[in-house]
Amino acid sequence: MNVSALQPHVNAADIPLRDLAANPNLTEQEKIGEAGRQFEAVMLRQILSEAQKPTFKSKYTDDSTTTSIYRDMTVTQLADSMSRAGGLGLAQTLNTQLTKQLTGQ
């Protein structure tokens, strides 16, 4: 009987970073890959948040709470999409380094 077939497959992207290491349904390589991707997404959020701040205040600048929430949601989705696409490459570099540490090379 194949015991691994009885365990449900878990998508690493659906697990919060704080719960990733303790999840028994993921392989070490899946954990490393998702940790790298989520780290890259955090870095991208910070970069994109700073890039969206207006340089000069004007009467056309909307600093309402609604705009702030919308801007934050946009930045979060854009950063997650960019990290999943792998365009920046930071996650891949981090994954390579963590894999080397895991295997002891």
pLDDT tens across 41-99, in order?
A: 999 999 999 988 776 777 777 778 888 888 899 999 999 999 989 878 888 898 899 88
pLDDT at 41: 92
The domain of 92 spans 26-42+62-105
Instruction: Tell me the torsion sign for CA atoms 39, 45, 48, 54.
Output: negative
Phi, psi of 14 (to 5 degrees): -90, -5
Establish if 51 belongs to a structural domain.
no
Distance from the first to the final alpha carbon of the chain:
35
pLDDT at 24: 84
Establish if 20 belongs to a structural domain.
no
Establish if 9 belongs to a structural domain.
no
pLDDT at 77: 94
pLDDT at 40: 92
11 compared with 32, residue with greater pLDDT: 32
Provide the number of structural domains found in the chain. 1
Give the Cα separation of 49 and 71 in Å (integer): 8
Establish if 32 belongs to a structural domain.
yes
pLDDT at 8: 59
| Range 22-46 average pLDDT | 88
Establish if 8 belongs to a structural domain.
no
In sequence order, what are the residues at sequence separation of 6 or more whose Cβ sits closer than 8 angstroms to the Cβ of residue 94? 35, 36, 39, 40
Contact criterion met (CB below 8 Å) for 38 and 16: no
pTM of the full structure: 0.73
State the chain's maximal CA–CA distance in angstroms: 69
Establish if 57 belongs to a structural domain.
no
In sequence order, what are the residues at sequence separation of 6 or more whose Cβ sits closer than 8 angstroms to the Cβ of residue 98? 32, 35, 36
Establish if 79 belongs to a structural domain.
yes
